[in-house]
A and B are shown apart, each in its own frame.
Chain A
Amino acid sequence: MAATNSTAKQKVGWGAANLIVIVAAAIPVLWLASLSFKDPSTLGDGSFIPHKWTLDNYSGIFSTSLFTRALINSIGIALIATFLAVVLGSMAAYAVARLNFPGKALLIAASLMIAMFPPISLVSPLFNLWRIIGLFDTWPGLIIPYLTFSLPLAIYVLSAFFREIPWDLEKAAQVDGATPFQSFRKIIIPLAAPGVFTTAILVFIFAWNDFVFAISLTSTTAARTVPAAIAFFTGTSQFTTPIGSIAAAAVVITVPIIIMVLIFQRRIVAGLTAGAVKG
């Protein structure tokens, strides 16, 4: 489908562009990996490749439950928040894109307002609220704010996608004898897939990366996620930033991201190239 007419020159051009993109994205990550393998005495030597290698940083972060529990918390909370955001966001986005009802503009404006308010001034009252309700230091205590602050983006992205779907296809399929649910499943869902998976990746990464809520709404390993747990890493003295452990933790937690993205990236564009669209 893609390059039936491209010349060898074009191929080389795109290939070079590929390479540049990969390298530019990878170098700081490789630097982190390098910091994680560097022996502490060589941290100040300024070289990209470690002169003295050590695995101590990795064994160190797994030696206590601080990091391992945080990893479990991060994965669980991010997955659940993503699932809920996609479900609730899809429902609302469908309504926004296809239906007319009073209050639609208000909902969109309100959700945008929520996305715009600086989170740092919201954490203290939210902490108060959670403490009174009993959600402080729990999984729902983090899932709900993540849901709240990712729904605006989810609704926006999904509704922008839903609007592009040619709904007449549904009618055509029904004329051909499919039930509404079949036509929804076989035609609408594949077309909506790019938007859904894009949203899923964005929400997951938001929940994965968040620091402000994680540090304010948790106090023990019961619910603390990885970004907050990093604040508890200690160095050899109170004045030393434990960059070795932090870098090791960073490398470890990037792996689930890589896996998740590898799985989902195919689906982002698979939907539309599956043919069956107009024309």
Chain B
Amino acid sequence: MVRVVALAVGVALLTSSCGSGTPTASGGTPTLAWYIFPEPSGSFAAAAAECSKASNGEYNLQMHVLPAAADGQREEMVRRLAAGDTALDILGLDVTWTAEFAEAGWLAPWPDQIASQVKNGTLPTMIKTGTWNNKLYSAPFNTNTELLWYRKSLVPHPPKTWAEMLSQAKQLASQGKPHYIEIQGAQYEGFTVWFNTMVASAGGSIISPNGQTVTLGSSALSALRIMAALAHSPAADPSLSNQMEDQNRLAFESGVAAFELNYPFIYPSAKVDVPKIYKDIGWAPYPTVDPSQPSHVTIGGIDLAVSSLSRYKKQSFDAIQCLRQDKNQVRNAVKGGLPPVSEAVYKDKSFQKAYPAWKTILQGLQHASVRPLTPAYQSVSLQIAYSLSPPSTIVPQSDLPVLKQRIQDAINSKGLVP
């Protein structure tokens, strides 16, 4: 009886291992595993196929999809790299991960010669996101930044400063017209983006360039005052503390808002969902905090890096350079909705046609700011969101020293993170 059971168990396990297997590199051309988020339009797959062909046998690019959400992508890559998995060659990193992955020893630095090729013609702020300890670890692939979107029928002159925007919204409210300012106030990464934008636009920074000390000061106070002012003004959407980018988009499309601070994806979406409101949408640069300087909106996007455990580093660097070519960037932008990182592409006519707001986007990118460059960035971001969200609870004078202490602990990896 026990023997029968053992046999059944054995058969069950054997049949279950059929049909599983991972592809191995063929004898001649190495297959490079490119781990990247699932891109729905197929532009990445097309670029990978073209680059493999153009390499003339040097490499064969195979895309491996990661989970759709950024956190899931990071989790999977961290788990496998930390375990010493050599199966990953090219990694698609969010702009905030380079310092962390590099310090952990998972990335291969770019050799100086080809590093300068990468930097040539690429937006300087994006280069910053790929650099750690003065070495280039990841090459910018695509980028993103927020703009001010508004309803032209309600707002004849788009505001230049936050103070202006708040007073315009207040006026609209008193007239009983749609008046909300849509912005991401939920307790998550998007909130850190907002805080970072405000502090940078006020002329300050969150941590020092070397990532060791917290530099929040008077500029942070100005930033916090404005954020608190928004939360208490009639311009605040009641769901502000629950809103992420997509909720902002939906609220704006429902017609209750006059302003929206969001990424360009809302524009083509409005064309499909609410054509009437779409015709009424205008765009402008992100409002300034310090009137004497332009706003410094936090930059987003993806960088491509080579795993330090990869067996085909040289081929991976070459493949990345091919993937980053201008014509691929145009396709990613037009078909995939991912703004390019090379300044020359902004002059491309097909790109300009697909992105009517391209001038404002480029302007924003050229003045953009980066999020704190430290391996402990994820902890820093959690502390910022934890300490400051919901924005209606912000008390600038008392919140600031608490926040400073928490960020300092996060940088030193001391204590718990929320």
A touches B in complex, CB < 8 A: yes
**Which residue of B68, B79, B272 contacts A127 across the interface (Cβ within 8 Å)?**
B79
Q: Give 1 or 0 for each of B386-401: 1 = CB within 8 Å of chain A CB.
A: 0000000000000000
A232 lies within 8 A of chain B by Cβ: yes
A41 close to B67 (CB less than 8 A) = no
B265 close to A239 (CB less than 8 A) = yes
Q: Give 1 or 0 for each of B1-34: 1 = CB within 8 Å of chain A CB.
A: 0100100110011011101111000000000000
Chain B residue contacts of A128, Cβ below 8 A: 83
B351 lies within 8 A of chain A by Cβ: no
B318 lies within 8 A of chain A by Cβ: no
With A239-B244, A239-B263, A240-B246 known as contacts, the answer to whether A220 contacts B273 (CB < 8 A) is no
B280 lies within 8 A of chain A by Cβ: no
A142, chain B: closest CB distance, angstroms: 9
What is the bound-complex CA distance between A219 and B76, given in angstroms? 9
- Stretch from A12-20, A75-83, A163-171, A255-263 that touches the partner: A75-83
A239 close to B5 (CB less than 8 A) = no
Q: Which residues in window 373-393 of B have CB below 8 A to A?
A: none
Chain A residue contacts of B263, Cβ below 8 A: 239
Q: Which residues in window 167-225 of A have CB below 8 A to B?
A: 215-216, 219-220, 222-223
A222 close to B82 (CB less than 8 A) = no
Chain B residue contacts of A83, Cβ below 8 A: 12
Residue of B nearest to A181 (CB): B1
What is the bound-complex CA distance between A232 and B37, given in angstroms? 9
A80 close to B16 (CB less than 8 A) = yes
With A43-B250, A137-B20, A238-B37 known as contacts, the answer to whether A84 contacts B72 (CB < 8 A) is no
Residue of A nearest to B248 (CB): A239
What is the bound-complex CA distance between A237 and B246, given in angstroms? 9
Q: Give 1 or 0 for each of A223-247: 1 = CB within 8 Å of chain B CB.
A: 1000000011111111111100000
What is the bound-complex CA distance between A76 and B17, given in angstroms? 11
A23, chain B: closest CB distance, angstroms: 29
A91 lies within 8 A of chain B by Cβ: yes
Q: Give 1 or 0 for each of B256-285: 1 = CB within 8 Å of chain A CB.
A: 000000010100010011100000000000
A138 lies within 8 A of chain B by Cβ: yes
Chain B residue contacts of A28, Cβ below 8 A: none
Chain A residue contacts of B5, Cβ below 8 A: 87, 91
B67 close to A222 (CB less than 8 A) = no
A-B contact pairs, 28 of them (CB 8 A): A41-B274, A44-B254, A76-B16, A77-B16, A80-B12, A80-B16, A87-B5, A87-B8, A87-B9, A137-B20, A138-B16, A138-B17, A140-B17, A143-B16, A215-B72, A215-B75, A222-B20, A222-B22, A231-B68, A232-B38, A232-B67, A234-B40, A236-B40, A236-B269, A237-B337, A238-B68, A238-B265, A242-B68
> Which of B2, B9, B68, B272 lies at the interface centre, i.e. has the most chain A CB atoms within 10 A of its CB?
B68
With A139-B20, A222-B20 given, can you name 8 additional A-B contacts, CB distance below 8 Å?
A87-B8, A143-B16, A232-B38, A233-B68, A234-B38, A237-B246, A237-B269, A240-B246
Chain B residue contacts of A123, Cβ below 8 A: 79
B54 lies within 8 A of chain A by Cβ: no
B189, chain A: closest CB distance, angstroms: 11
A94, chain B: closest CB distance, angstroms: 11
Residue of B nearest to A239 (CB): B245
Q: Give 1 or 0 for each of B68-85: 1 = CB within 8 Å of chain A CB.
A: 110010011001101101
Chain A residue contacts of B83, Cβ below 8 A: 124, 127-128, 131
What is the bound-complex CA distance between A84 and B8, given in angstroms? 9
What is the bound-complex CA distance between A123 and B82, given in angstroms? 13
From DSSP, what is the main secondary structure of chain A's interface residues?
Answer: helix
A40 lies within 8 A of chain B by Cβ: yes
Contact surface of A with B, Cβ cutoff 8 Å = 40-41, 43-44, 76-77, 80, 83-84, 87-88, 91, 123-124, 127-128, 131, 137-140, 143, 215-216, 219-220, 222-223, 231-242
Chain B residue contacts of A236, Cβ below 8 A: 40, 265, 269
Residue of A nearest to B144 (CB): A238
What is the bound-complex CA distance between A220 and B21, given in angstroms? 10
Residue of B nearest to A72 (CB): B19
Chain A residue contacts of B249, Cβ below 8 A: 239-240
Residue of B nearest to A141 (CB): B20
Chain B residue contacts of A40, Cβ below 8 A: 273
B167, chain A: closest CB distance, angstroms: 29
B16 close to A44 (CB less than 8 A) = no
With A127-B83, A239-B246 known as contacts, the answer to whether A232 contacts B273 (CB < 8 A) is no
B32, chain A: closest CB distance, angstroms: 16
What is the bound-complex CA distance between A32 and B68, given in angstroms? 21
B65 lies within 8 A of chain A by Cβ: yes
Chain A residue contacts of B8, Cβ below 8 A: 87
A41 close to B273 (CB less than 8 A) = yes
A234 close to B79 (CB less than 8 A) = no
B93, chain A: closest CB distance, angstroms: 14
A41 close to B272 (CB less than 8 A) = yes
A216 close to B79 (CB less than 8 A) = yes
What is the bound-complex CA distance between A140 and B274, given in angstroms? 49
With A124-B79, A239-B245 known as contacts, the answer to whether A220 contacts B22 (CB < 8 A) is yes
What is the bound-complex CA distance between A240 and B245, given in angstroms? 8
Chain A residue contacts of B273, Cβ below 8 A: 40-41
Chain B residue contacts of A137, Cβ below 8 A: 20, 22
What is the bound-complex CA distance between A143 and B18, given in angstroms? 13
